[in-house]
Structures are given as C-alpha cells and as structure tokens.
Amino acid sequence: MLSYKAPIMDLKFLIEDVFDYYGHYQKHPEFEEATPDLVDAIMQECAKFCENELLPLNQSGDKEGCTFDQGKVTTPKGFKEAYQQYVDGGWQSLSHPIEHGGQGLPPSLGMVKQEMMGTANWSWAMYPGLSHGAMNTIQEHGTDEQKEVYLTRLTEGTWTGTMCLTEPQCGTDLGQVKTKAEPNDDGTYDISGTKIFISAGEHDLTDNIIHIVLARLPGAPAGTRGISLFIVPKMQVDASGNIGEFNNVTCGSIEDKMGIKASATAVLNFDNAKGVLIGPENKGLECMFTFMNTARVGTALQGVCASELAFQNSLSYAKERLSMRSLTGKKYPDQVADPIIVHPDVRKMLMTQKAISEGGRAMIYYTAKLVDDIEFAKNEEDKKAADDKLGFITPILKAFLTELGSESANHGLQIFGGHGYIKEWGMEQIVRDNRISTLYEGTTGIQALDLLGRKILLTRGASLKAFTFDILNFCKEKSMISSNPHKRQMNKFIWPLSKAVANWQQYSMRIALKAKKNRDFVGSASVDYLMYSGYIVMAYFWAQMAQAAYEKLSTDVENRDFYRAKIKTAEFYFEMMLPRTKSLAATMMADPKTLMQLNEDLLSFS
C-alpha cells in the first residue's frame, strides 16, 4: 500500500531559505496577501487533502480505471467526490485573478499545491491540472467577453479545460493538422475533425469541458503557418455563460494505457461543433505555446512527483526489510539479518532518489518564480528577461526531470525486489504512471532538438550565455570570503560547478561548429546534450541549497539534522551524479556517421 507525507519542511526550506519567495512577493503588490502565515496554512491544509483524500484513491483508481460506455466516461469510485471537495475548498481558484473569481495568490504557490496533489495521485490531479493551461491561454489571448464567459467557470472549477492538438496522422508534427474550421455568419465557426490522446477529454466530474482546439480556416496556408486556435465547449454556452445544447463533441473511445489508468485519455470527434476564434487567424500555434509551455513545466513536475513518491516508500521499506548482513559487520545483531538500508548499493539508489526529488523540486520552484515575474512584470524588458530564461530552461525541465523521474521510480521497484513487481506495493504503478511523462508534451528527443536547435544554435548561444551568467555570478560571490563566511565549506561545490559551466559553454560552441558541416550532428548530439545540461543545472541548485543549509546551521536553528542532510545529499550529487556529464560529453561529441552508415535494408532483422 502506497504511503505519502507531504514534505512540508523541504517545501518551506526552498520557499524561505533558498529562493526567498516572500522577498519576491513583496516586489509584486498583487501578492501582498501571500504572507508566511497564510502560505503555511495553505500548505498544511493542502497536505491534509492530498494525504487523506487523494492518496487513498491512487491505487484503487489504477485498479478500477475509467469506464467508457456509448460516449460517456465514468471516473473511478471516489474521484468525483474528491473533485467536489477540491472545488468546495477553493483549491482551483487559489492562484488565478480576482476579477474572474480567483483568490489572486501567486502562480508559484499554485505550483506548490500542484506538487502535493500530483505526488498523492497524479491521475486525479490531471483533471484540474489540464484546466490551468486552458485558462492561461484564454487569459493571454482571449477577448474580454471570452474571459468573462469561460474564465469564471474554469476558475470556479465547475468546468474543466483541455488542449486538443494531436490527430491520428500527426503527433508532434502539427503542420499536418487536418481539423477544419468553417466560418458562420454570426462570428462562430463549425469545427470538424478528430483529435486523439486528449487527457481529461471526457469525464463525469463537471457539466462542461472547454476544449482549446487547433484547426484550419478555409484557404489557410499549408503547414504550421495556417493553423488557428479555437475555444470549443462540449456543451454550447451563451453570452451569460449558461449551458445550452450538446455541441457535437463526442468521445469515440478512451485509450487502454500502460499507466495513469484513472485519467481518461480520449479520442474526440468534432462534428460541426460550434467554436470561437481565440487570437489572430493563422497564429494558433503561437497562441498555443502559452498552453504548451504551461503543460511542459507541469509535466516536468510529474517526474519530481514520481521520484518523491518512490523515494518515500523505498526509504520506509529499506529500513524494515531484513536481508543479509552488512559487509562491515553486523549492524543489528539482535535481528536475524540487517535491514537492506545498510547495503551500499541500496544506499546509492536511495540517495539518487533523494537527490533527484529535492534537486528537481528546486528546479521547478525556481521556474515558478519566473512564471510570477512573467505574468506580473511591470515592463516589457523585465517580462522578456524572465520569459527568455523560462524558454531556455523549459525543455531541460521537461525532458531531464521526467527521465530522472523514471530512473528514480525504477530504483524504487529495484529496492523492493520481487515485491516491487507486485501491484499491492504500488511501486510498479509509479513506474507505469510516470513513463508517459517522457512522451507527452513533446518527447525527450523533441525537447532536446528545441534546446539545442532553437535555444542554442538559433540564438547563437545567447540564451545559454544569459543563464550561465547567473551561475557564474553565484560561484564568484560564494567563492569570496568577504561575501560568504562559508566559502571554505562551499569550495567543494563552487569549483566543480564553475568548471562544469565552462565546459558546457565550450562544448556548445564545438557542437555549433560541427553542426555547420553536418546537420545530422544536431540530431545525434541533442539528447545527450540536454541531459548533460540538466545535470549542470541541477548542480547549480544543489549548490544553492548547500549554501542555504550552511547559513541555517550557523544560527541556533532547530532540526539541524535536516540541514546536515541537505549538505550530505549535495556532496553525493556532486561526487556520484554530476560526473555523469563526462560520459555524456563523449557521446554527444561522437561523429554521427555510426548512426547513419546503415541504410534501411541493412537495419532489417530478417
């Protein structure tokens, strides 16, 4: 049986000591109500909801799954009641604008809520989670009338939202979208086509579902330049937001999936469904990126959630499971064997899980501050600076953290041994549930091409230069005794990090030069380059956490073991995980000719 305890102390450490959320909130008058007392109360109440209501539905929801009958989807037992509690508790409205019924609290605080819900029950959390991207898209690109009609209900949680991109003939290559939008005299459009892999596309939690749909207008240019974006509700909606007739959006089926079985993944058929244009004509993909970036950061969080849940359960099991004796002598002589936590290999897996969970969380919470700055920037210059950083780090977050989330989940299964393979313990479910995170919202390969192709090569390294500038400034400041009394202790982090950043810059330049001669080099190097980048970025945040822990230990703070553990985990990361960059450097710089030298016939197995 899975267990979960919200890591409140770790959340507060990041919020208060590492990223100074409260100083950050003071820069934004909109967040004046986000005081430490209020934030602490919200975290405590959210933890209770997740631990007591969502976690018990995790394994039962996986076992029961969603059921499909003649276009209707029924969620597992308890899901609808938990969703109503979620709405009644005001959780959906937490970090959305007051003018649409929200509580006006920071988006970064919403990310904290999302992490706890996602760790307790990722399948359930996807239903309200998909709404956030739809809301952000309408907020950014919708008209005042669209915001009034749709955002109010979505903010309440009485309606949910989706994103409808993929079609049977195309996945990532959205230039192949065939869904049509025929204009009507009243300003609406008739939307016709089929969309697949639509998370939360049909369910019984709310009376209406608002679909954000990519489609083509008559005479639109071919490819991605001819895609527009539309709001298409499941049930028609009048100007006052009242629900009317069925809007000819039918669910053809739901997928029989490897994991997240309690989350309905729908095939949706649009048969002259009424929709309204959102944003300019033929600029739908640009508008959709508002949604997609939100979804990608949310997907990155899934990797952290999977790692945290696997780690918590692995740690408890490793302390209790007795098997063999320690190589250095009996540690528990009164027991028939020592608990497996004494064995170095088990320790390595546990420490890797801990480093991934806490390091990944730090990366997400840093990004959450950027989202605050983008949404509430006082001028375009500040907004662009934050947006550029977010754009650079998003593909790293999405791919790196989901891949490491799968690694952590697999470590959990391994620690449980044969029991990990049995459904009762829940470990194999974490592996299955997280596996999709490396695929949807763009596979690891797609994210890698985005990072190396668009963010590095097309900007001639400008994005990398801006991000590494921050890291090197941190290293410089913490390496001077005049500004850092903990310089001596921090040297073991600062110097390896500085060297890693210098290598990152040099390898990026070398790849750019090689890519000029052979375009295949980009595709060959990209995934290894992204993972290489991810380990350095995570090292940066582990160095920051170590610095904050040293600072806390120099005071009379309680729970001193917590801060000592932070430092020890940072040491583990730098000694046993950051060195992975060495093998990645070798493979990403390898000549792609060994990949391309076999033609299709020679690749055949027959």
Q: For residue range 396-427, list pLDDT tens digits in order.
A: 999 999 999 999 999 999 999 999 999 999 99
Picking from 391, 424, 445, the residue at the C-terminal end of a domain is 445
**One-character DSSP codes across 311-372:** HHHHHHHHHH-B-S--TTS-S-TTSSS-BGGGSHHHHHHHHHHHHHHHHHHHHHHHHHHHHH
The type of residue at 359 is: G
**Type of residue at 295:** A
Distance CA 564, CA 541 (A): 16
- Decide if pLDDT at 116 tops 90: yes
Q: Are residues 453 and 426 in the same domain?
A: no
Percent of the chain with pLDDT over 70: 99
CB of 284 within 8 A of CB of 267? no
pLDDT for the residue 375: 87
Three-class secondary structure of residue 604 per DSSP:
coil
Rounded CA Rg of the chain: 25
Per-residue pLDDT averaged across 248-270, rounded?
98
Domain end (from 400, 422, 445): 445
Residue 562 lies in a domain: yes
pLDDT at 602: 72
17: DSSP letter: I
Beta partners for residue 235, in sequence order: 246
User: What does the pLDDT read at residue 286?
Assistant: 86
Do 296 and 426 share a structural domain?
Answer: yes
Burial of 565 (0-12, 13-18, 19+ CB in 10 A): middle
Please state the rounded mean pLDDT for residues 17-43: 96
- pLDDT score recorded for residue 606: 62
| pLDDT tens sequence across 555-580 | 999 999 999 999 999 999 999 999 99
Q: What is the pLDDT of residue 17?
A: 98
* Number of separate domains in the chain: 2
Residue 81 has pLDDT above 80, yes or no: yes
pLDDT digit string (tens) for 575-591?
999 999 999 999 999 99
Question: Is 194 a domain residue?
Answer: no
Helix 344-375 with 284-320: angle, nearest 10 deg: 150
The 10 Å CB-count burial string (b at 16+, else e) for 236-264 is bbeeeeebeeebbbbbeebbebebbbbbb
- Residue 358 and residue 351: Cα distance in Å, rounded? 11
Pair 363, 502 in one domain = no
Can you give the pLDDT at residue 291?
A: 63
**Are 437 and 500 in a shared domain?**
no
Q: Collapsing DSSP states into helix, strand and coil, what is residue 438?
A: helix
Domain span including residue 431? 287-445
CB contact burial 450-469 (16+ within 10 A = b; e otherwise)? bbbeebbbeeebebbeebbe
Helix (H, G, I), strand (E, B) or coil at 178: coil
DSSP H helices in 443-486:
444-449, 462-478
Q: Give me the pLDDT at residue 295, please.
A: 77
Q: Is residue 561 in some structural domain?
A: yes
Q: Do 416 and 454 share a domain, yes or no?
A: no
Task: Calculate the alpha carbon distances from 159 to 10, 134, 202, 208 in Å.
Answer: 33, 11, 12, 5
Domain-located, residue 347: yes
Which pLDDT tens digit goes with each residue over 533-554? 999 999 999 999 999 999 999 9
Q: Which residues are catalytic?
A: 441
Task: Say whether pLDDT at 290 is over 70.
Answer: no
C-beta contacts of 385-392 below 8 A and 24+ residues apart:
388/463, 388/466, 389/466, 389/467, 390/293, 391/293, 391/455, 391/463, 392/451, 392/455, 392/463, 392/464, 392/466, 392/467
Q: What is the mean pLDDT of residues 364-379?
A: 93
| Judgement on whether residues 298 and 412 belong to the same structural domain of the protein | yes
Are 160 and 127 in contact by the 8 Å Cβ rule? The answer is yes
Same domain, 438 and 459: no
* Mean pLDDT for the stretch of residues 261-275: 98
Record the pTM: 0.97
* Same domain membership, residue 404 and residue 500: no
pLDDT given at position 451: 97
CB 165 within 8 A of CB 174: yes
Statement: residue 170 has pLDDT above 90: no
Are 412 and 473 part of one and the same domain?
no
pLDDT given for residue 597 in this prediction = 84
Distance CA 385, CA 397 (A): 18
Token pair of 39 as six digits: 């934030």
Strands 235-237 vs 243-246: parallel, antiparallel or unpaired:
antiparallel
Q: How confident is the model at residue 287 (pLDDT cuts 50, 70, 90)?
A: confident
* 371 in the same domain as 481: no
| DSSP-derived 3-state class of residue 534 | helix
Asked whether residue 474 falls in the same domain as residue 586, the answer is: yes
Residue 102, pLDDT above cutoff 80: yes
pLDDT of 70 above 80: yes
Q: Are strands 208-215 and 159-164 parallel, antiparallel or unpaired?
A: parallel
Half-sphere exposure of 51 (CA within 13 A, CB side): 12
| Residue 384 pLDDT exceeds 70 | yes
Domain of 311: which CATH number? 1.20.140.10
Q: Is residue 381 part of a domain?
A: yes
Helix axes 427-435, 284-320, angle to 10 degrees: 160
- Do 463 and 361 share a structural domain? no
Q: Is 288 a residue whose pLDDT tops 80? A: no
Mean pLDDT of the chain: 95
Q: Please give the share of the chain, as a percent, with pLDDT higher than 90.
A: 90
Check whether 605 has a pLDDT greater than 70. no
Question: What is the pLDDT, as a whole number, of residue 344?
Answer: 97
